[in-house]
């Protein structure tokens, strides 16, 4: 048995040997890392050049050093606190991380439930059929309980030194990877440690997507993610595999932020029938010679501080009625949608009324006020997709092109004079959005919000009690249930406490915040006892103190001076629909889906390829066709993807896919029948919901 001295000598020799090995490994690493960096930069230069540009002469903001143990695996330690990114076995840690996420995790689910279809939309009919089929097979078939070896989308938070990416692709073919890294220094370090070059080559050869989202600012990363996913196909948010590569406060906050904003990615897609109605309404409104807002025109500077009261129909409007009455001559009063029924009941005539919905129910609702003199004294401010009969109800009207609609896309492609007309964004998803966006666009900078609650505190009090929602007690309850939806959550209140919100309300809030964030010179006071809106100062309405009456007629006159009618007819536009090209596009997709598929990934790649056609069409004069199809393709592909990645057994799943694919093919055939009538699709259907507004 060795003595204590012998044992100490043996231990010392072993430690010396370990240190020699580590020194040799670190010497080898010092040679290998710069070479790997050069190879990786060359690959990025070839495949993702903006990353190469970013890191060509990059200097880390937080100093670090590379080191390795005797295992030779490169690791990183920050010099300021000597904390390493990984423990002693970086490769094993990353491999275990991927294995555990895949075995214990699942795919995010994002689906759309069955909808009522009072207007008989073909899109809704087929979406309901697909939903019913998915529900039926979900009740019978074995559901997928783990992450399969092929996934359509992955969201990976944190690059670290990149090692987990290699293990992820060893175990799983990822159709499109969204890679989030808020630490620019760490990504720079990964260029030395991880073999990016062979991974990028593999992704290119297999036609797999990669979007790298870098930046210190959460808002910027989330915005870039939204842009990237909409470009590649918003349906990809369905069935996403989500994992993190390392954890710290930045990564946790970023994951939380993306989770909070996730529902925004599924808002405002539109759909085929809706887009045909939009095209028809645009042309019909133009033919009626209504004036359209000109591009770049603003109200005179001396009127920019005129107080603007934006009146929405949220429940807290009731608390502000007396203040609005008292100050109505001292501000320009803008009513939003159904809020006009509350103002009508209490005897306040809005100076401007804004709408955003395109279906006939808007015209029917306004007509139900049964007071033509009341409306004749109000200016209608709305978008090109509004029902063309609406303008006849008002004494004067102003229209503007709504961003991301097929009408503006078509007209701007062929008629140079349309470039002189404004295209306004931020007007969706609710009418309160155009209520804020329109006056800000016109140049007004002093805005007060009333009843713009984007939620409610009491489930029985969902709108102003003065409005037509409460014409009948029983109907008010039904309308409330229609509005609530299934998904509800809590949001911070404008005056404290919490407010019940949902996806639509939350998206509306977010859009208003974006408008205000890009117009720092606008003073916005939120007098609504609803959801808190960033950049809008909470102000109880009783604290409003305005000095003197304004000359409203002169303000309206100046607004009208910013507009001009458009001299075009349906006959000018109809040949430009390009029915032949539309049919060629649809037939190409039909032929590609009439195919025997051998893997989930093959179908996922086809959906991506179909979506890629839209991006190509967007770059041509036929961009209105892409705009017409994009929403329905997102919705249908969301459900096809849900079926594709919900069940055990790839072969069995491919059999289950066929009835769903047949529905998609039927849908495409129907679009060919309907598209030639695009300019004769004015909504003429009475919405049953109107009955609920009657006494």
- What DSSP assignment string belongs to 288-329? TT--EEBTT----GGGTTS-EEEE---TTHHHHHHHHHHHTT
Residue 90 has pLDDT above 70, yes or no: yes
Residue 405, number of CB atoms within 10 A of its CB: 24
Q: Is residue 551 included in any domain, yes or no?
A: yes
**For 687, which DSSP code?**
P
Predicted confidence at residue 691, as pLDDT, reads: 57
Residue 60, number of CB atoms within 10 A of its CB: 14
Q: What is the 3-state secondary structure (H, E, C) of 492-560?
A: EECCCCEEEEEHHHHHHHHHHHHHHHCCCCCEEEECCCCECCCCCEECCHHHCCCCCCCCHHHHHHHHH
Q: What are the distances in angstroms from CA 545 to CA 305, 307, 673?
A: 14, 11, 59
Residue 495, number of CB atoms within 10 A of its CB: 15
Rounded CA separation 398/52 (Å) = 49
Residue 673 has pLDDT above 50, yes or no: yes
When pLDDT is averaged across residues 281-292 and rounded to a whole number, the result is: 97
Predicted confidence at residue 489, as pLDDT, reads: 79
* Residues making up the chain, counted from first to last: 695
Rounded CA separation 260/490 (Å) = 12
Predicted confidence at residue 558, as pLDDT, reads: 98
Output helix, strand, coil percentages for the chain, rounded to the nearest 5.
55, 15, 30
The pLDDT tens digits of the residues spanning 353-387 come to 999 999 999 999 999 999 999 999 999 999 999 99
The alpha carbon dihedral of 404, 406, 412, 418 has a sign of: negative
Rounded CA separation 26/72 (Å) = 7
Assess contact for 385 and 282: CB atoms under 8 A. yes
- Residue holding tokens 């096809």? 640
**For 512, which DSSP code?**
H
Predicted confidence at residue 23, as pLDDT, reads: 62
Predicted confidence at residue 116, as pLDDT, reads: 85
CB hemisphere CA count around 317 (13 angstroms): 29
Last residue of a domain, one of 33, 57, 88: 88
Rounded CA separation 94/163 (Å) = 6
The alpha carbon dihedral of 366, 367, 368, 369 has a sign of: positive
Phi-psi region of 626 (alpha: psi -120 to 50; beta: other; left: phi over 0): alpha
Q: Name the least confident of 5-9, 225-229, 447-451.
A: 5-9
Beta-bridge mates of residue 499 = 491
Rounded CA separation 349/362 (Å) = 18
Predicted confidence at residue 19, as pLDDT, reads: 53
Q: Is residue 528 included in any domain, yes or no?
A: yes
Q: Is residue 555 included in any domain, yes or no?
A: yes
Which helix H or strand E contains 181, and what residues bound it? Answer: strand 173-181
Structure tokens at 283: 């042309």
Rounded CA separation 263/190 (Å) = 32
Beta-bridge mates of residue 498 = 492
The pLDDT tens digits of the residues spanning 593-614 come to 999 999 999 999 999 999 999 9
**For 121, which DSSP code?**
-
SS3 category, 133: helix
- Residue holding tokens 């990183």? 76
- Which residues are CB-contacts of 557 (< 8 A; sequence separation ≥ 6)? none
Assess contact for 449 and 530: CB atoms under 8 A. no
Predicted confidence at residue 14, as pLDDT, reads: 54
- Residue 632 banded pLDDT, cuts 50, 70, 90: very high
- Which residue range forms the structural domain that includes residue 29? 1-88
Q: Name the least confident of 102-116, 229-243, 495-509, 576-590.
A: 102-116
**For 541, which DSSP code?**
G
When pLDDT is averaged across residues 515-522 and rounded to a whole number, the result is: 96
Rounded CA separation 610/589 (Å) = 7
Structure tokens at 648: 């055990």
Residue 677 has pLDDT above 70, yes or no: yes
Predicted confidence at residue 122, as pLDDT, reads: 96
Q: Is residue 60 included in any domain, yes or no?
A: yes
Assess contact for 625 and 585: CB atoms under 8 A. yes
Q: Is residue 422 included in any domain, yes or no?
A: yes
Of residues 393, 409, 389, the one with CA closest to residue 401:
409
The pLDDT tens digits of the residues spanning 472-510 come to 555 545 555 555 555 577 899 999 999 989 888 999 999
Rounded CA separation 514/533 (Å) = 10
SS3 category, 500: strand
CA dihedral 321, 322, 323, 328 (to 10 degrees): 80
Rounded CA separation 299/511 (Å) = 23
Assess contact for 540 and 495: CB atoms under 8 A. yes
Q: How, if at all, do strands 563-564 and 292-293 pair?
A: antiparallel
Q: Is residue 612 included in any domain, yes or no?
A: no
Rounded CA separation 274/277 (Å) = 5
The pLDDT tens digits of the residues spanning 403-431 come to 999 999 999 999 999 999 999 999 999 99
Q: Is residue 521 included in any domain, yes or no?
A: yes
Q: Is residue 645 included in any domain, yes or no?
A: no
Q: What are the distances in angstroms from CA 209 to CA 109, 159, 622?
A: 20, 16, 26
CA dihedral 550, 553, 558, 561 (to 10 degrees): 170
Rounded CA separation 396/552 (Å) = 14
Predicted confidence at residue 476, as pLDDT, reads: 47
The pLDDT tens digits of the residues spanning 551-586 come to 999 999 999 999 999 999 999 999 999 999 999 999
Last residue of a domain, one of 58, 88, 118: 88
Beta-bridge mates of residue 538 = 526
- Residue holding tokens 């509306």? 508
Last residue of a domain, one of 25, 60, 88: 88
Q: How, if at all, do strands 75-78 and 64-67 pair?
A: antiparallel
Residue 11 has pLDDT above 80, yes or no: no
Which helix H or strand E contains 518, and what residues bound it? Answer: none
For every residue of 56-106, DSSP letters joined together read TT---SS-EEEE--TT---EEEETTT--BSS-S-HHHHHHHHHHHHHHH--
The alpha carbon dihedral of 164, 169, 173, 176 has a sign of: positive
Of residues 309, 373, 361, 372, the one with CA closest to residue 335:
309
The pLDDT tens digits of the residues spanning 268-286 come to 789 999 999 999 999 999 9
- Which residues are CB-contacts of 7 (< 8 A; sequence separation ≥ 6)? none
Looking at the structure of the chain, the number of domains it has is 2
In a 10 Å sphere around its CB, with 0-12 CB exposed, 13-18 middle and 19+ buried, how is residue 106 labelled?
middle
Of residues 572, 575, 607, the one with CA closest to residue 589:
607
The pLDDT tens digits of the residues spanning 320-343 come to 999 999 999 999 999 999 999 999
- Residue 107 banded pLDDT, cuts 50, 70, 90: confident
SS3 category, 144: coil
Q: How, if at all, do strands 446-450 and 308-311 pair?
A: parallel
Predicted confidence at residue 28, as pLDDT, reads: 76
**For 421, which DSSP code?**
B
For every residue of 626-641, DSSP letters joined together read HHHHHHHHHHHHHHHH
Q: Is pLDDT larger for residue 461 or for residue 340?
A: 340
Q: Is pLDDT larger for residue 298 or for residue 10?
A: 298
- Which residues are CB-contacts of 8 (< 8 A; sequence separation ≥ 6)? none
First to last CA, the chain: 102
């Amino acid at each position: 048995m060795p003595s204590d001295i012998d044992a100490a000598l043996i231990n010392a020799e072993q430690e010396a040997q370990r240190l020699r090995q580590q020194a040799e490994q670190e010497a080898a690493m010092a040679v290998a890392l710069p070479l790997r960096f050069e190879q990786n930069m060359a690959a990025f230069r070839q495949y993702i050049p903006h990353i190469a540009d970013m890191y060509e002469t990059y200097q880390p903001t937080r100093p670090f050093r590379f080191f390795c143990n005797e295992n030779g695996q490169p690791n990183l330690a920050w010099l300021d606190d000597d904390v390493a990114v990984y423990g002693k076995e970086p490769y094993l840690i990353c491999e275990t991380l991927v294995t555990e996420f895949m075995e214990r995790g699942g795919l995010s689910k994002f689906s759309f439930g069955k909808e009522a279809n009072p207007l008989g939309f073909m899109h809704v009919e087929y979406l309901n059929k697909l939903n019913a089929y998915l529900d039926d097979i979900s009740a019978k078939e074995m559901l997928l309980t783990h992450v399969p070896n092929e996934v359509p989308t992955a969201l990976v938070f944190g690059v670290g030194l990149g090692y987990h990416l290699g293990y992820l692709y060893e175990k799983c073919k990822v159709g499109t990877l969204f890679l989030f890294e808020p630490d620019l220094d760490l990504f720079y370090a990964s260029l030395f440690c991880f073999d990016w070059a062979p991974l990028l080559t593999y992704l290119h050869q297999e036609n797999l997507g990669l979007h790298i989202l870098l930046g210190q600012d959460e808002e910027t990363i989330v915005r870039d993610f939204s842009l990237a996913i909409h470009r590649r196909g918003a349906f990809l948010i369905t069935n996403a595999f989500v994992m993190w590569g390392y954890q710290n406060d930045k990564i946790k906050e970023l994951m939380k932020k993306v989770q909070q904003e996730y529902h925004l990615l599924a808002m405002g897609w539109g759909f085929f029938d809706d887009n045909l109605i939009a095209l028809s309404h645009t042309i019909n409104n133009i033919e009626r010679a209504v004036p359209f807002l000109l591009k770049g025109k603003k109200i005179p500077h001396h009127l920019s501080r005129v107080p603007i009261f934006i009146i929405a129909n949220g429940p807290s409007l009731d608390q502000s009625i007396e203040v609005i009455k008292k100050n109505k001559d001292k501000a320009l009063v803008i009513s939003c949608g159904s809020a006009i029924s509350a103002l009508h009941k209490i005897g306040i005539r809005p100076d401007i009324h804004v709408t955003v919905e395109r279906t006939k129910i808007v015209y029917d609702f306004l007509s139900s006020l049964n007071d033509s003199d009341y409306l004749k004294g109000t200016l209608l401010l709305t978008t090109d997709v509004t029902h063309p009969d609406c303008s006849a109800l008002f004494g004067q009207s102003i229209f503007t092109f709504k961003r991301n609609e097929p009408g503006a896309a078509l007209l701007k492609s062929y008629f140079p004079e349309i470039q002189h007309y404004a295209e306004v964004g931020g007007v969706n998803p609710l009418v309160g959005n155009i209520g804020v966006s329109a006056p800000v666009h016109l140049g007004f900078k002093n805005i007060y919000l009333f009843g713009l609650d984007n939620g409610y505190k009491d489930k029985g009090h969902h709108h102003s009690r003065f409005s037509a929602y409460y014409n009948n007690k029983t109907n008010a309850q039904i309308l409330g249930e229609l509005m609530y939806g299934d998904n509800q959550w809590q949001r911070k209140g404008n005056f404290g406490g919490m407010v019940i919100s949902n996806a639509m309300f939350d998206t509306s809030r977010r859009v208003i915040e974006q408008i205000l964030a890009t117009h720092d010179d606008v003073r916005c006071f939120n007098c609504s006892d609803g959801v808190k809106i960033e950049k809008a100062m909470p102000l109880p309405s009783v604290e409003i103190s305005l000095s003197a009456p304004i000359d409203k007629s002169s303000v309206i006159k100046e607004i009208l001076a910013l507009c001009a009618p458009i001299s075009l007819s349906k006959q000018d536009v109809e040949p430009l629909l390009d029915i032949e090209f539309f049919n060629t596009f649809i037939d190409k997709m039909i032929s590609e889906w009439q195919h025997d598929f051998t893997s989930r990934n093959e179908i996922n790649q086809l959906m991506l390829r179909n979506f890629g056609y839209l991006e190509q069409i967007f770059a041509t004069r036929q961009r209105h066709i892409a705009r017409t199809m994009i929403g329905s393709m997102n919705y249908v592909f969301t459900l096809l993807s849900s079926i594709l990645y919900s069940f055990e057994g790839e072969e069995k799943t491919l059999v289950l896919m066929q009835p769903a694919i047949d529905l998609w093919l039927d849908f495409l055939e129907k679009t060919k029948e309907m598209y030639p009538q695009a300019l004769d699709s004015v909504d003429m259907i009475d919405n049953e919901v109107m009955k609920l507004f009657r006494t």
